[in-house]
């Protein structure tokens, strides 16, 4: 329940968005908790490190490690802090894109870190 208005919060189905530009504001609302955003940032950074190690070594285990880091940190942020289900369960491509746009927005200061 929204304590400011007394109304129940609006439930939005991520599958309803036809364009990423419309999805991204929803995505940001789903990442309003600072710790969730920080965990996403850490997981994405570690995933990039794992990708670099995969390219440098050719060892496929780094791909699995990168996926575990990226999704593990993100899901910890959602279930542990944000108290919501990741949109990746219903809109995987837009969520993946949102991860990297948010990562850039965190780096550039557009979104508070």
- Residue 59 falls within a domain, yes or no? yes
For residue 38 the two structure tokens come to 């920080």
Q: Are 101 and 24 in contact (CB under 8 A)?
A: yes
> How many CB atoms sit inside 10 A of residue 69's CB?
19
- Residue 5 falls within a domain, yes or no? no
The number of distinct structural domains making up the chain is 1
Range of the structural domain that residue 28 is part of: 19-108
- Residue 3 falls within a domain, yes or no? no
pLDDT at 11: 79
Indicate the pTM of the whole model: 0.86
pLDDT tens for each residue of 26-47: 999 999 999 999 999 999 999 9
- Residue 90 falls within a domain, yes or no? yes
- Residue 65 falls within a domain, yes or no? yes
- Residue 7 falls within a domain, yes or no? no
pLDDT tens for each residue of 53-69: 999 999 999 999 999 99
- Residue 45 falls within a domain, yes or no? yes
Alpha carbons 82 and 36: distance in angstroms, whole number: 6
- Residue 51 falls within a domain, yes or no? yes
Angle at 51 between CA 46 and CA 55, to 5 degrees: 145
Residue 21, SS3 per DSSP: helix
């Amino acid at each position: 329940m929204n304590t400011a208005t007394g109304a129940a919060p609006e439930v939005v189905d991520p599958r309803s968005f036809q364009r990423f530009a419309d999805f991204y504001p929803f995505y940001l609302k789903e990442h309003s908790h600072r710790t969730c955003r920080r965990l996403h940032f850490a997981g994405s950074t570690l995933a990039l490190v794992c990708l670099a190690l995969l390219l440098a070594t050719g060892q496929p285990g780094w791909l699995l490690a990168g996926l575990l880091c990226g999704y593990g940190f993100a899901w910890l942020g959602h279930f542990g802090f944000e108290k919501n289900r990741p949109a990746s369960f219903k809109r995987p491509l837009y969520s993946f894109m949102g991860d990297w746009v948010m990562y850039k927005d965190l780096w550039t200061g557009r979104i508070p870190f």
